[in-house]
């Protein structure tokens, strides 16, 4: 695939692996994927793909996944071994499950034990040296690493939100599992704070590493403004779900139109389109709204608009926020999660309260001072590109791997 070929062409140069046991071959990393019912790459999948591609010369990766999906398809193109071990995520969305808590826990426990035994056999046969779990929502990597006495790096990419759901065995169980990890990687300071609360400030090392969203060898061209007054075009990229805040953006658009300020709003992503269509009809903004579906290249998509909107209730990092910063398009966002952190409290973008009226006011202010906002966004992009590259991301994770393996 073209995406994997582009990543492979920008791989980091081979770096010496310092390990007290002087391994004769590359250390073997088990990357535990949480599995997505889609042929498309999720944000976690994109980050893991970038990591593997950058570090292929340093480590031998084995991907363990509950099913074949878009991530495993692209990773296999890089020559990485894929092992399919059916297992369930350890989170559920209560409204979609009819089982009682006790029945759910029993069924999950039995299936997890079976899957963990199968995963242990597979990892032992593959000669794994370190386990890297790529998401909070699956604890099978923790179970298997503990059973095999292997070092375990747990990558936490989530914050509590309605879309995430609840852990089957409760948050206390999640905290105990996290505390047993060798090291925790968190994608933001907000996630880091959440993780430390879960492990009750145990001595487990915790670090923050931002996801990379572009390759330094092929950076996206900077945003070029085409706005010269009149109707502003707004773009909101992300899964269509109440936790992502499409209802707030639609309410803000209605508020702007009621004030005589013309604008158009485009939603880019997949999800609950019926819910979104109902909101559009209810607010009477159908002629001003487009639903474009999912796109593979967010930079090309954003370049066709004037403002990037981010309205998530509790964003763990905000891949779209980072992509918008790297591109240099003006950002208007609502406060919550790591959005405040990435936008430096409003210095790198306009932060609004999470309600339609305040968001509308922020958009109007940005339109009214658009040229200066674009100029500031360009200056921010130069700094953001030093923070959110795949190379910086991979180098930081590489250091975590080394420290963890040295401690064995």
In this structure, what token pair is assigned to residue 37?
């019912």
How much is the average pLDDT of 296-320? 94
Mean pLDDT of the chain: 89
Pick from 87-101, 189-203, 342-356: least confident: 87-101
pLDDT in tens, 201-242: 789 999 999 999 999 999 999 999 999 999 999 999 999 999
pTM of the entire predicted model? 0.89
Question: Strand 183-186 to strand 166-167: parallel, antiparallel, or no bridges (unpaired)?
Answer: unpaired
What DSSP string describes 45-78? HHHHHHHHHHHTTT-EEEEEESS--HHHHHHHTT
On the 0-12 / 13-18 / 19+ scale of CB atoms within 10 A, 191 is buried
pLDDT in tens, 164-190: 778 877 889 899 999 999 999 999 999
Pick from 38-42, 59-63, 382-386: least confident: 38-42
pLDDT in tens, 110-166: 677 888 899 999 999 999 999 999 999 888 999 999 999 999 999 999 988 756 778
Q: Residue 83's beta-bridge partner residues?
A: 64
pLDDT (0 to 100) of residue 19 = 43
pLDDT (0 to 100) of residue 63 = 96
What DSSP string describes 222-258? PP-----SSSEEEEEES-BSGGGTHHHHHHHHHHHHH
pLDDT (0 to 100) of residue 92 = 64
Band of the pLDDT at 39, cuts 50, 70, 90? low
pLDDT (0 to 100) of residue 167 = 84
pLDDT in tens, 245-289: 999 999 999 999 999 999 999 999 999 999 999 999 999 999 999
pLDDT (0 to 100) of residue 137 = 87
pLDDT (0 to 100) of residue 103 = 64
Residue length of the chain: 408
Sign of the CA dihedral running 377, 242, 357, 315: negative
Report the CATH number of the 232-387 domain.
3.40.50.2000
**Alpha-carbon gap, residue 114 to 303, rounded angstroms:** 48
Pick from 15-29, 45-59, 126-140: least confident: 15-29
pLDDT (0 to 100) of residue 16 = 41
2-212+389-406: what fold? Rossmann fold (3.40.50)
So where are the chain's domains? 2-212+389-406, 232-387
């Amino acid at each position: 695939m073209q995406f994997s070929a582009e990543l492979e062409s920008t791989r980091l140069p081979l770096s010496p692996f310092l390990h007290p046991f002087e391994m004769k071959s590359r250390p073997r990393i088990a990357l535990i994927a949480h599995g997505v019912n889609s042929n498309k790459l999720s944000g976690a999948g994109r980050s893991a793909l970038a990591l593997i591609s950058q570090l292929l010369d340093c480590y031998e990766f084995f991907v363990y996944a509950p099913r074949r999906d878009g991530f495993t398809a692209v990773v296999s193109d890089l020559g990485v071994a894929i092992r399919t071990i059916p297992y369930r995520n350890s989170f559920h969305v209560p409204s979609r499950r009819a089982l009682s808590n006790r029945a759910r826990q029993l069924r999950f426990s039995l299936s997890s034990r079976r899957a963990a035994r199968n995963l242990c056999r597979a990892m032992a046969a593959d000669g794994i040296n370190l386990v890297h779990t790529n998401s909070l929502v699956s604890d099978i990597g923790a179970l298997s690493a503990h059973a095999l006495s292997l070092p375990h790096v747990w990558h936490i990419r989530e914050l509590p939100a309605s879309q995430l759901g609840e852990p089957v065995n409760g948050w206390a169980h999640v905290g105990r599992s996290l505390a047993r990890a060798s090291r925790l990687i968190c994608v933001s300071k907000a996630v880091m704070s959440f993780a430390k609360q879960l492990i009750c400030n145990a001595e487990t090392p915790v670090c923050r590493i931002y996801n990379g969203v572009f390759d330094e060898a092929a950076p996206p061209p900077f945003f070029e403004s085409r706005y010269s007054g009149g109707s502003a075009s707004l773009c909101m990229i992300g899964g269509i779900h109440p936790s992502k805040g499409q209802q707030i953006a639609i309410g803000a658009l209605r508020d702007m139109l009621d004030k005589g300020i013309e604008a158009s709003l485009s939603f880019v992503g997949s999800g609950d389109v019926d819910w979104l269509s109902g909101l559009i009809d209810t607010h009477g903004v159908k002629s001003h709204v487009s639903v474009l579906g999912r796109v593979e290249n967010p930079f090309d998509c954003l370049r066709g608009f004037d403002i990037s909107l981010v309205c998530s209730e509790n964003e763990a990092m905000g891949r779209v926020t980072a992509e918008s910063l790297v591109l240099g398009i003006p950002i208007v966002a609502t406060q919550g999660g790591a959005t405040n952190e990435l936008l430096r409290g409003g210095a790198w973008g306009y932060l609004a309260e999470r309600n339609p009226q305040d968001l509308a006011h922020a958009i109007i202010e940005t339109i009214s001072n658009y040229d200066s906002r674009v100029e500031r966004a360009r200056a921010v992009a130069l700094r953001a590109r030093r923070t959110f590259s795949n190379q910086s991301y991979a180098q930081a994770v590489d250091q975590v791997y080394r420290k963890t393996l040295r401690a064995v």
